[in-house]
Amino acid sequence: MDASFKEELLSHLSDSGALHTLKERLRSEVSKSLIPSSEPSQIFKKPKKQLRRVLDALFEDYLDNSQYHYSLSVFQPESGSRGHSLSHRDVLKTLHIEPGSELYSALKRRGYGRQSHGAAKPGLATALLEAVMETSGTAKLNKHAAEDSSSFKRAEIRKLEQRQAELEARIRSIESDERLKTAASNNAAAVHHVAQTSGPKFSVQERLQQAAASSWVAQATDEPVWMAWAQQSDTLIDEVLAGCETMLQCVEDARLALAAAEQDAADLRGQLGHILLERRDLIAVLPDLAPVLAWGPGNVNPPATPISRAAVVLSAEQRIKEGVRSLQKKVLSHRQTATAHLAHSLACMGLKPPEASPGILHGPPAYDRS
C-alpha cells in the first residue's frame, strides 16, 4: 500500500516538474558547498574566449530545449554563464552567419526565427547542426545526384544533337541534289534558247537533242552524271558565246560601213547643194554672156559656129548630171558594202534582212528647170 502510494506521489511530482526543480536546487547547493568561496569569483573574473562563450550558449540552448533542467542548473554555475550567456543574434554574428547567406537560409527553413504559436520553438544548436549538414554533406549528395542527372541529360542531349546533325546533313544533301538538278535544267534551257537564236552557224540544237536522249535523264539521282551534264552545258555555252562575239564583230563592221555610207550621203548632199548654187549663178550671168556668145557687130573674130544660150544651159546641165552620177556610184558602192555586212550579221543571228526602202540614192534627183 505504501509502495503504490510512493510511486504515485513520485509520478505526480515528476509530471508537475517539482521533482526536477528539487533536484536542481539540491545539486546547486551541493555544488556551492563543494567549491571554495574564493574560486567561483576568480572564475567569473577571468575573461572567457568568445568561441567558448558561443559553445556555452549553444549548450545551454540545447539543454533548455531538451528540458534538461537539472543538468542546466548544474552547468550554469559551473560555467559561470548565468546571466552572461550570449543571445542567438550574438552567436550568429560571432560565427559570421549573416542574413542572406546560405547557412542562414537553411536555418530559416528549419524554423529558426519564426514566431511559435503554441508549438515548441526550435533550438539554435539543433537547427544550426541541421543547417550545416544540409549545406555541406547533404548538399554534396544532392549535388552529386544533380550532376548524375545532368550527365544523363547531357548524354541524351548529345544523342539528340547528333541525330539532328545527321538529319540536317541528309537535308543538305537532298537540297544540293535539287540545286544541281535545277542548275542543269536552267543551263539546258539557256543553251536551248541561245541555240534557237544563234542561227545555223552552230549545230547546238542537234547536240542538245543527243544529250536529252542520253541516259542522264533516267539517272536523275546520280551526281557524277549531273556534273558531266553541267560540264557539257558549260562547253556549249562557251561555244555559243564565242559565236555571239563573232556576230557582234560583224554587227560592228556593218555599223561602221553604214556610218561611212551616211557620211558619203552627207557629202553628196553638200556637193549637190554647191552644184545647184553654181547652176543658179550660171543662169543668172547668161544674159551678160549673150553678146559674147552670140554673133554681133562688135565681135572682131566671130566664132565659126555661133553658140546659143540654150546650148550653154544644156552643157552646164550635162556636167551637173555627170557629177551627180559619179557621186551616186560612189555612195551606192559604200551602201552595197554596208548592206552586205549587215546581211551577213543578220544571217548569223538567224534574222532576215529588211527590205530596201527608196531614198535619195535611188535615181537622180528632180531638178528645178525653171
Q: What average pLDDT does the segment 294-310 reach?
A: 50
- Residue 186 near residue 237 (C-beta atoms within 8 A): no
pLDDT for the residue 295: 46
What residue ranges do the domains of the chain occupy? 248-294+306-348
Calculate what percentage of the chain has a pLDDT beyond 70.
61
C-alpha cell, 172: 543538305
With bands split at pLDDT 50, 70 and 90, how would you rate the model's confidence at 220?
Answer: very low
The dihedral built from the CA positions of residue 348, 351, 355 and 359, taken in this order, carries a sign that is: negative
The pLDDT of residue 352 is above 70: no
This prediction has a pTM of: 0.29
With bands split at pLDDT 50, 70 and 90, how would you rate the model's confidence at 139?
Answer: low
The pLDDT of residue 19 is above 60: yes
- 91-113 pLDDT tens trace: 888 888 888 888 888 888 877 76
- 32-60 pLDDT tens trace: 777 655 444 444 444 557 888 888 888 88
Q: What average pLDDT does the segment 135-147 reach?
A: 65
Sequence-separated (6 or more) residues with CB below 8 Å from residue 13 = 19, 22
- Residue 306 near residue 295 (C-beta atoms within 8 A): yes
Q: What average pLDDT does the segment 260-281 reach?
A: 75
